[in-house]
Amino acid sequence: GQLRDVLQKGIQGIIDGIRINGHPTQRLPGSLSLCFEALEGEALILSLDLKGVAASTGSACSSGSLEPSHVLTAMGVPIEIAHGSARLTLGRDTTREDIDYVLEVLPDIVSRLRSMSPLRPSREAR
Residues labelled catalytic: 61
Amino acid code (one letter) for 83 = H
| Nearby residues of 27 by Cβ (< 8 Å), 6 or more positions away | none
Q: Do 6 and 96 meet the contact criterion of CB atoms below 8 Å apart?
A: yes
Q: 66-76: buried (b, 16+ CB within 10 Å) or exposed (e) per residue?
A: eebbebbeeee
The SS3 of residue 17 is coil
The whole-angstrom separation of Cα 38 and Cα 29 is 27
Q: Do 35 and 82 meet the contact criterion of CB atoms below 8 Å apart?
A: yes
